[in-house]
Amino acid sequence: MPRILDGKKVAQKLKDQLKVEIENIKLKFNRTPGLAVIQVGNVAASSVYVKAKTKAAKEVGINVIDHHLEESTNQNDLINLINELNNNDDVNGILVQLPLPNHINEEMVLNSIAPDKDADGFHPLNVGKLSISQKNDESLMIPCTPYGCLLLLRELNVDLVGKNAVVIGRSNIVGKPMAQLLLKESCTVTTVHSKTKNIESICKNADILIAAIGKPEFVNKDWVKEGAIIIDVGINRIKINEEKSKLVGDVLFSEVENKVSAISPVPGGVGPMTIACLLRNTTAAFKLKNYN
């Protein structure tokens, strides 16, 4: 039987640790880390994510400052708000929920977040630091989803050194930083994408396979090596019938589970880890500012 990587449980462990850390911070500084959450418009999935992130932040004692802006908000006003938050000492982390409306340039907005408050780890300076640093330095602002994947892998207590790791997907928020993190764990890393030739055979060579594609149940048993470790990042909603739908990953779990040594489920795998890592980044930002 494969080991099912229970993201809810691992995320809860991280949140429990953060809660204690934040209690100690409160005793020492008489204040708690602050996270500003900005949502522009009313995309339903974004509202769900913002609600989950806000709830989790409050649970661990992070002070959440909510900014829910109109869909019609212009880019300058959004950047002005971010500048205010950059200069607000009560704010340690700033999260801009993506996607932004089409009339706003996402890159310019993300670049306007002060790097030391970049709770998502998307600012070019933090991307550069992640790329340059030799090891997975816990003081870095690391993109939350790939960092969550790494923490799930660490739960297995397997030696990652020299393992063949294949990352499917090369996005800035998942695929690329995931490859960086695995490289620093001394894995031999291959990144594959929609233009890769012989993708199936490359994946079949993977000791560790990370699927971040955005295509429901795309990776089947023929892509997977016997005994591999699978992290499924995908979140896809599929229709069961006219009334019902369900969430599935990028991996065909029912087919693959009997072939692998460990696999993360969807839901309940990477998703909760992403949220916990956002809280970790916010707390790390507070510590970097106040303990040095």
Ligand X SMILES: NC(=O)c1ccc[n+]([C@@H]2O[C@H](COP(=O)([O-])OP(=O)(O)OC[C@H]3O[C@@H](n4cnc5c(N)ncnc54)[C@H](OP(=O)(O)O)[C@@H]3O)[C@@H](O)[C@H]2O)c1
- Cβ closer to ligand X: 82 or 212? 212
Closer Cβ to ligand X, 160 or 168, answer by number: 168
What is the rounded CA–CA span in Å between residue 148 and residue 142? 10
Sign of the alpha-carbon dihedral angle for 118, 57, 245, 203: positive
At what angle are helices 270-290 and 7-29 packed, to 10 degrees?
Answer: 20
Residue number with the shortest CB distance to ligand X? 171
Q: How far is the CB of 198 from ligand X (least distance, A)?
A: 12
> Where does this chain bind ligand X (CB under 6 A)?
145, 168-171, 173-175, 192-195, 199, 212-215, 233-236, 270-271, 274
Q: How far is the CB of 193 from ligand X (least distance, A)?
A: 4
Between CA 170 and CA 174 the distance in angstroms is: 7
User: Exposure of 245 by Cβ count < 10 A (0-12 exposed, 13-18 middle, 19+ buried)?
Assistant: exposed
User: What's the number of CA atoms in the CB half-sphere (13 Å) around residue 159?
Assistant: 2
- Find the shortest distance in angstroms from Cβ 253 to ligand X: 14
Query: Which residues pair with residue 66 across a beta bridge?
Result: 37
Catalytic residues: 53, 97, 120
Nearer to ligand X, 32 or 264 (CB): 264
The alpha carbon of residue 279 and the mean position of all alpha carbons in its chain are separated, in whole angstroms, by 11
Name the E strands within the chain. Answer: 3-4, 34-40, 63-69, 93-96, 164-168, 188-192, 208-211, 229-232, 236-239, 245-248, 262-263
| Residues 54/114, Cβ–Cβ less than 8 Å | no
Nearer to ligand X among residue 33 and residue 148 (C-beta) = 148
- For ligand X, the closer of residues 25 and 225 by Cβ is 225
Q: For ligand X, which is the closer residue by CB, 13 or 28?
A: 13
Rounded-to-integer distance, Cα 239 and Cα 246, Å? 7
Q: How many residues does the chain have?
A: 292
Q: Report, in Å, the least distance between residue 232 CB and ligand X.
A: 8
Min separation Cβ 1 and ligand X, Å:
24
Which position has the token pair 């009997």?
Answer: 258
Among 1, 5, 3, 2, CA closest to 266: 5
CB of 284 to ligand X, least distance (A): 19
